[in-house]
Structure 1
């Protein structure tokens, strides 16, 4: 398999075809298990449950090289479930980042003005030469390509900090391909996996244009 590729299908089954200890960095934005619905009615596949959480991250852990890192966004509503699964699989929680927004994505008890993610290590990972701040500014994408589309620039910074030049970045929930584009722009190889055929086509088109 070529190292830079975008695959369409279930990430659990697809990752089982990848070699163990073959990935240098994982950067992903999985479903949060919150039944997300955008203002225009778009939904996220498998966001109505977290049954996929353990088997998916079990494969993530297997394909990661010893000493490598995984950065995963998560839903604060289910933080306990994400952390329980990650720790059960052997990940070490080594960092947490808040991405601060200038706008409110929604309003309930608070205005929701941030995204968040954990940095997870497989074994003992090398510290970066210049650590990133754990509060990072966030740009609005307009969600034009995906209902939860992430901006590319902060993803680039994560890849540059935690993946060696020429390394392989995996995103098993790649959506419209923001992580993959960030990897390409930083000179890394990438493997993207997306369940939804429409989003897979968008990612392919986006990476081809880049």
Structure 2
């Protein structure tokens, strides 16, 4: 099935919004959900729903439902809450098929160690075929300055993931789209995209970003 929601951003709770999508209507999910770490940036900004795990299982249940059989979901996660994420992924029905390290040239924080990487798991729904040319499980992460979002991801690091795990013209979903980096990467690589964002502020930022970049490319 083809989703009627394409190349747009929805403002609202992603669990409720995904319930409006047809089953098996999404080709690839690439998302950076709250890490459940009560994150607070140096500028004091926080991430909505980062203080509780209530949304975690229902959200991934819906992601599994809307994803096509044999397709992939790539999810960032908080390393010190990996038990909660693993339980949610497995409970939803995902198979865990890979792990990616995003290597940063800076430390986002220092305590017991200097934390200079991000991480994500590659999840599969059903019998997913490996890509013809697998990409490296270590990807360089350029600093975005977090100007648009407190945990903003660099578009250039997301493009190869979309190219590897979603066919051209396919639909990429990001249920926690923040400032829209996943959506920009999908558009840049010739894929359709759908974002969902709970925060009104970030929804407006992502919408403006995608609209401005779309007009600039026209």
Fold agreement, TM-score > 0.5: yes
How many Å apart are 1:5 and its aligned residue? 0.9
Distance, in Å, in 2 between the alignment partners of 1:54 and 1:137 is 30
Query: Could you tell me which residue of structure 2 aligns to residue 70 of structure 1?
Result: 73
Distance, in Å, in 2 between the alignment partners of 1:204 and 1:126 is 33
Query: Could you tell me which residue of structure 2 aligns to residue 195 of structure 1?
Result: 198
What is the CA deviation profile of residues 98-142 of structure 1, one whole-angstrom value per residue up to 9, with x for unaligned ones?
Answer: 001110100010000000000000001111111111111110000
Query: Could you tell me which residue of structure 2 aligns to residue 95 of structure 1?
Result: 98
How many Å apart are 1:207 and its aligned residue? 0.3
Distance, in Å, in 2 between the alignment partners of 1:200 and 1:88 is 29
Query: Could you tell me which residue of structure 1 aligns to residue 64 of structure 2?
Result: 61
What secondary structure sits across from 2:44 in the alignment? Answer: coil
Q: 1:141 and 2:137 equivalent?
A: no
Find runs of 4+ consecutive structure 1 residues off by over 4 angstroms: none
How many Å apart are 1:36 and its aligned residue? 0.3
Q: What is the TM-score when the length of structure 2 is the normalising length? A: 0.95
2:88 to 80, 85, 97: 85
Number of equivalences: 210
How many Å apart are 1:180 and its aligned residue? 0.2
Alignment of 1:127-166 (within 5 A): 127-166=130-169
Distance, in Å, in 2 between the alignment partners of 1:17 and 1:40 is 36
**Which runs of no fewer than 5 residues in structure 1 stay unpaired?**
none
Q: 1:207 and 2:206 equivalent?
A: no
What is the CA deviation profile of residues 53-108 of structure 1, one whole-angstrom value per residue up to 9, with x for unaligned ones?
Answer: 00000000000000000000000010011011111211000000000111010001
Query: Could you tell me which residue of structure 2 aligns to residue 170 of structure 1?
Result: 173
Q: 1:37 and 2:40 equivalent?
A: yes
